[in-house]
Structure 1
Amino acid sequence: MSQPVVHISKLNLKYHHTVVFQDLDWVIQPNQNWLLCGTSGSGKTSLAKAIAGLSNTDGTLDLHFDPASTRPALAYYVANWYQFKDLEGQSNFYYQQRYNSQAEQTVATVQAELESFGKAQGLQFIEALRIAEALAYTELLPSSMIELSSGEHKKLQLVKAVWLAPQLLILDQPYNGLDTLSRKRLNTLLEEISVKGTQLILISNDAELPAVIDRVAEIREGKIQEVTFEQRSRNEMAHSGKAVPSFLKTAPAGTAPEHIIKMIDVNIRYGEKQVLKDINWEVKPGEKWLLQGHNGSGKSTLLSLICGDHPQAYANNYYLFGNKRGSGESIWEIKQRIGLISPELHWYFDPTATVWQSIASGFYDSSGLFCDPGATKKAQTDQVLDYFGLQEYKNVLMTELPLGKQRLALLARTVIKNPQLLILDEPCQGLDQQQTQHFNQLVDELSSHGTTLIYVGHFESQLPACIEKRILLENGWVKSVETILESA
């Protein structure tokens, strides 16, 4: 009988004094392809990194690769997100920097990044082009890395992984940020390399999986259990049922203008590349919008105009909260009325703040807390901390938390000031189904009291029930605007 590809026995791991695994056992035989699941913070990423040799553990962890295979004999891990560096090896970027035309001069292009990876791995670049074309990515090859959205960064790492096609490929939340078509094309590519000798371990909360995934492992209380696909779904659907904090059950403060957003023939161009084209869009108070479009359709750029982060804001004709943009209001006056979460904000948020400080910073739209909030705001922060189940992490630094817990803290930060406008850009990335359901119930509650909502989401199953209108972008144009739920 052949040796197992992965043999784990009595594996123990602590993460910042917290026990993650205790005597964990797992065996992966040749030709098996696994889905690795579990609640947020259960240790999925830690286990994946341990298998790929990226973290130290206590116990037995042996890998046995096939010497006769033409595939690289290694376990290759693709992280949930990718922290790129500039040409000087630095990664200290700031949130608005991707919209700065000078920033692209200090960061490599997508093509240069792929060429460097291919050279290091001894790969033929023509194969990378084939994969990029399959993922509708070739148009981005000349783009600077800093210009990419979260979904476009994810695609870049997936192009590398499929191109390398190692004997064991571990993908951590590979569908985050990908549009529907890209998810289907990725599954086809993964099925192709699996047939040719690549085994897969996928960490995913999503129902859409490659057909070759035939086993499910779930981490529970520090140990691995093999379960069926049906059991996995049932285990993730439990719900906490906590009551929404009372101060969030009131209408947002501030006057109600005729329109929250009104855009008139808005255009954004970078040199010869036009990102937004003649956008006309009006959002009235209390409306609940779904913003959709394929990766690179212009969603992130559109949101950056609303939040005051884009330098071309003053060159366009649009209104925010009833005021013409550029008529004297400051960026901070705009941000005070907006609650924002996005993958990019998560990337650039201060990781050295504690969870409590991070949540309270939402009152001030800062990355970290730099003042005493006062008794009322402190009490409200504690209430939201409890609602999101983060009490035990109150004084823990953000950098010491798993990404799922970090996202919960930032979601709490997003709603803490009960803003007039909620902008939720892929808010549930990294959350399990229970957490997603819990957060969307909060969104429905806020919306019922007059909060205006713009929700960006590619997964129809993860949307709040309150969504009533949809705007669809395609290549920078408004392809369609439709009503999907009649308001009461």
Structure 2
Amino acid sequence: MSKPVVHIANLSLKYQHKPVFQGLNWTINRYEHWLICGTSGSGKTSLAKAIAGLPHSYGNIEIAFNPDSDLPATVHYVANWFQFKDLEGQSNFYYQQRYNKQSAETTATVKAELESFGKKHALQLNEVESILAALGFSELKDSTLIQLSSGEHKKLQLVKALWLKPQLLILDLPYNGLDTLSRKNLNTLLEEVSNAGTQLILISNETELPSCINRNAEIKEGKLVEVSADERSWNEIEVSDKAVPTFLTEAAPTPSYSEIIRMIDVNISYGEKHVLKNINWEVKTGEKWVLQGHNGSGKSTLLSLICGDHPQAYANNFHLFGNKRGSGESIWEIKERIGLISPELHWYFDPSATVWQSIVSGFYDSSGLFCDPGYSKKAQTDELISYFGLDEYKNTLMNELPLGKQRLALLARTIVKNPELLILDEPCQGLDQQQTKHFNRLVDELCKNGTTLIYVGHFESQLPNCIEHRILLENGAVKSVGTTIERFESVENFEYN
């Protein structure tokens, strides 16, 4: 009888003095491919890191590789969040830097990153081409790492892992940030590597999974419990009935302009690469839009224009809040009217502030708190902390929170000032389904008061009910604009997928 591939006995792990696991036991046998699910903060990532042997992981964990396999005898862990470095080894980037031409010149290209990875692991470059094509990544080989969106960075890490084909592959939230077609193709690629001998552990709460997954487990109260596919806990979810803070439901002031956004033949290029092509889009005050498109279609760049982060806004015919860009307004005057969350903002956000400081900083559009906010702002921040269930984390540093809790804190920061325009770019990425429903309920309540909304989301089940309009991008151009989302097929079946 062959030895178990992974054997964990009495694993106990604390994080920030709080127990994560208490006597956790788990055995993974040959040919088993596991899905690990559970609520945000239950310890899924901690378990993945412990198996991968990353720093600060402790416990009795034995890994038995197959000596007869041609695959690398290693555990390869793909984190949900990847921090790249520039050519000088630095990783302290800021959000707007990805649109800066000079910054692009100091970071490696995707091609160089792949060449370096291939050389390190003695891989053949020609073998990665089919993986790049399947994940829609072939055209990005000449892009620099700083220019990639969060979804594109996730794809790059998946490309490297699938190219490597380790004996044990652990993927933490692998579907986050991926459009529907990329998810389907990823599942096909995972089935191929499993057939080649790679064993899989997926950390995910998704339901569309590769067919090779034959074991399911949840982490509950520090224990790993095996369940059937039908017993996964997300099938029965109760939405919190907490009252939305009253300061967020008060009537918003009526602006003097009828348009929030008007773009006329907007183009964005980097050299010969055209990212946005002749964009025409009008968003009237109070409208609720969903912005969609495949990974790399130009969504993030379009939003960067609206938020004042992209320098090429001044070279285009673009009106915002009733004024043409470049008519004397400052970036900070624009930002004070907008509440924004995006995977990229989360990525570059300063994690050294506490949860409370991070949320109250939303009043000032800063990454930290540099002044006394006063009684009213403090009280409103405390209300939001309670609404999102973050009371026990109030004085915890952001980088000490599980990813889902970090996301909730940044969502609270986004809405704390009750802005005229909400831009929510995949806001529920990393949240469990209960948290997603809770947040989208809040969005629906906020938008009853005339708040204008732009919401980026791939899946109908994860959209708020208030959405009225849809704009679809494809390869940097507007493919379609609709007046109501009901006119289209299910979001999972849009043509771009």
What does residue 451 of structure 1 align with? 451
Say whether the 8 Å CA contact 2:289–2:454 is kept in structure 1: yes
Say whether the 8 Å CA contact 1:12–1:21 is kept in structure 2: yes
2:120 aligns to what SS in structure 1?
helix
Post-superposition shift, 1:236?
A: 6.2
CA distance in 2, matches of 1:175, 1:234: 17
Say whether the 8 Å CA contact 2:234–2:433 is kept in structure 1: no
What does residue 90 of structure 1 align with? 90
Say whether the 8 Å CA contact 2:343–2:425 is kept in structure 1: yes
What does residue range 401-480 of structure 1 map to in structure 2 within 5 Å?
401-480=401-480
CA distance in 2, matches of 1:212, 1:486: 35
Query: How far does the alpha carbon of each residue in 1:272-303 deviate from its partner, in whole angstroms, 9 at most, with x for none?
Result: 11111111100011111010011111100000
CA distance in 2, matches of 1:194, 1:252: 54
CA distance in 1, matches of 2:238, 2:199: 31
- 1:486–1:172 CA distance, 2 compared to 1 (3 A): closer
2:101 aligns to what SS in structure 1?
coil
CA distance in 2, matches of 1:222, 1:449: 42
Aligned residue identity for 1:244: V
CA distance in 2, matches of 1:92, 1:247: 36
What does residue 395 of structure 2 align with? 395
- 1:62–1:461 CA distance, 2 compared to 1 (3 A): same
CA distance in 2, matches of 1:71, 1:355: 43
Say whether the 8 Å CA contact 1:129–1:138 is kept in structure 2: yes
- 1:57–1:309 CA distance, 2 compared to 1 (3 A): closer
Q: TM-score, normalised by structure 1?
A: 0.98
Higher mean displacement: 58-67 or 232-241: 232-241
What does residue range 71-150 of structure 1 map to in structure 2 within 5 Å?
71-150=71-150
Post-superposition shift, 1:43?
A: 0.6
Higher mean displacement: 475-484 or 58-67: 58-67
CA distance in 2, matches of 1:252, 1:347: 30
Q: Verify: 1:292 aligned to 2:292, yes or no.
A: yes
Post-superposition shift, 1:479?
A: 0.2
CA distance in 2, matches of 1:58, 1:192: 32
CA distance in 2, matches of 1:234, 1:178: 21
Post-superposition shift, 1:402?
A: 1.2
CA distance in 2, matches of 1:202, 1:92: 29
CA distance in 2, matches of 1:241, 1:277: 44
What does residue 358 of structure 1 align with? 358
Say whether the 8 Å CA contact 2:472–2:479 is kept in structure 1: yes
Post-superposition shift, 1:230?
A: 2.1
What does residue 283 of structure 2 align with? 283
Say whether the 8 Å CA contact 1:11–1:57 is kept in structure 2: no
CA distance in 1, matches of 2:251, 2:273: 41
1:70 aligns to what SS in structure 2?
coil
Post-superposition shift, 1:439?
A: 0.3
Post-superposition shift, 1:57?
A: 4.1
Post-superposition shift, 1:256?
A: 4.7
What does residue 344 of structure 2 align with? 344
Say whether the 8 Å CA contact 1:236–1:432 is kept in structure 2: no
Query: How far does the alpha carbon of each residue in 1:153-192 deviate from its partner, in whole angstroms, 9 at most, with x for none?
Result: 0110000000001111000011111111111111100000
Say whether the 8 Å CA contact 1:205–1:431 is kept in structure 2: no
Q: Verify: 1:160 aligned to 2:160, yes or no.
A: yes
Query: How far does the alpha carbon of each residue in 1:71-101 deviate from its partner, in whole angstroms, 9 at most, with x for none?
Result: 1111110000110000010001110011001
CA distance in 2, matches of 1:141, 1:384: 42
Structure 1 stretches of 4+ with a deviation exceeding 6 A read none
Q: How big is the alpha-carbon RMSD for the aligned residues of Structure 1 and Structure 2?
A: 1.3
What does residue 228 of structure 1 align with? 228
Higher mean displacement: 246-255 or 16-25: 246-255
Aligned residue identity for 2:181: L
Say whether the 8 Å CA contact 2:50–2:58 is kept in structure 1: no
Q: Number of aligned pairs?
A: 487
Post-superposition shift, 1:389?
A: 0.4
What does residue range 137-216 of structure 1 map to in structure 2 within 5 Å?
137-216=137-216
Post-superposition shift, 1:250?
A: 1.6
Post-superposition shift, 1:254?
A: 5.7
Query: How far does the alpha carbon of each residue in 1:318-370 deviate from its partner, in whole angstroms, 9 at most, with x for none?
Result: 11111111111111111111000001111111111000000000011001111
Higher mean displacement: 316-325 or 155-164: 316-325
Say whether the 8 Å CA contact 2:307–2:335 is kept in structure 1: yes
CA distance in 2, matches of 1:202, 1:238: 25
Say whether the 8 Å CA contact 1:470–1:482 is kept in structure 2: yes
1:217 aligns to what SS in structure 2?
strand
Query: How far does the alpha carbon of each residue in 1:401-438 deviate from its partner, in whole angstroms, 9 at most, with x for none?
Result: 11111111000000101111100001111100000000
Structure 1, unaligned runs of 5 or more: none
What does residue 267 of structure 1 align with? 267
CA distance in 2, matches of 1:236, 1:214: 22
Higher mean displacement: 318-327 or 296-305: 318-327
Say whether the 8 Å CA contact 1:472–1:478 is kept in structure 2: yes
Say whether the 8 Å CA contact 2:49–2:57 is kept in structure 1: no
Post-superposition shift, 1:55?
A: 3.5
Query: How far does the alpha carbon of each residue in 1:424-465 deviate from its partner, in whole angstroms, 9 at most, with x for none?
Result: 001111100000000000011111111111011122221111
Post-superposition shift, 1:151?
A: 0.8
What does residue 367 of structure 1 align with? 367
Post-superposition shift, 1:484?
A: 2.6
Say whether the 8 Å CA contact 1:95–1:348 is kept in structure 2: yes
CA distance in 1, matches of 2:57, 2:22: 11
CA distance in 1, matches of 2:452, 2:390: 26
What does residue 490 of structure 2 align with? none
Say whether the 8 Å CA contact 2:244–2:442 is kept in structure 1: yes
Say whether the 8 Å CA contact 1:236–1:433 is kept in structure 2: no
Post-superposition shift, 1:251?
A: 2.7
Post-superposition shift, 1:238?
A: 3.1
Q: What is the aligned-residue identity percentage?
A: 74
Say whether the 8 Å CA contact 1:115–1:125 is kept in structure 2: yes
2:242 aligns to what SS in structure 1?
coil
